[in-house]
Amino acid sequence: MVRPTLHCAKALQLTLAVIKPDAVAHPLIMKALHQRILESNFIIVRRKDLKWRRQDSERFYAEHSGRFFYQRLVEFMSSGPMRAYILAREDAIAHWRELMGPTKVYRARYTSPDTIRAQYGLTDTRNTTHGSDSVESAHREIAFFFPEFQIEDWMKKEEPCFRTGQ
């Protein structure tokens, strides 16, 4: 039997996207963000609603411990429910970060008014969304939010284009 050769026009990539508690508190914003994800040609691979304990927040943001905003950040991220997505498309990491806009809301409003953080962000801490910043952090963060999700298995079984992607 001849197996068909798969041609992947563009290699797909996974990223972790999180809607933070400030946006989850507003159903209309949640709806708008979900729509934005779909319109931006992402495949929603997994979705999960969850709430962090303080220690989850501390562990996830350990790289920022000692920064002046750390306590504020940890408290905020464990203050209410969040929605996490595993998203896929080509260059998913860069595309999602571009869609989010700059970390700081005032900068986002000034430089990229069409971005999520510019439109919905409240403060530099309450900036609406999280996105992975590299392939390595995407894998680590997906495992943090979705420990049951086997990235390697999924890439092999569900999406052959991933083999060339990462």
Cα separations in angstroms, 151 against 56, 87, 91, 156, 166? 21, 12, 17, 9, 11
| Two structure tokens written together for 76 | 């905020």
- Name the phi and psi angles at 110, rounded to 5: -80, -45
Nearer to ligand GDP, 69 or 110 (CB): 69
Annotated binding residue at 117? Answer: yes
Q: How far is the CB of 133 from ligand GDP (least distance, A)?
A: 5
Nearer to ligand GDP, 144 or 154 (CB): 144
Element (H, E) at 139: helix 135-145
- Mark whether 7 is an active-site residue: no
Single out the segment in contact with ligand GDP by CB under 6 A; choices: 41-49, 52-60, 125-133, 141-149: 125-133
Q: Sort 99 into a burial class: Cβ within 10 Å, 0-12 / 13-18 / 19+.
A: buried
Q: How far is the CB of 127 from ligand GDP (least distance, A)?
A: 5
Annotated binding residue at 97? Answer: yes
Question: Does the footprint of ligand GDP cover residue 65 (CB under 6 A)?
Answer: no
3-state secondary structure of 148: coil
Contacts of 99 (CB under 8 A, 6+ apart): 36, 40, 115, 116
Nearer to ligand GDP, 11 or 122 (CB): 122
Single out the segment in contact with ligand GDP by CB under 6 A; choices: 30-38, 106-114, 119-127, 147-155: 119-127
Question: Does the footprint of ligand GDP cover residue 107 (CB under 6 A)?
Answer: no
Give the interface with ligand GDP as residue ranges (CB under 6 A).
64, 69, 72-73, 103, 124-125, 127, 130, 133
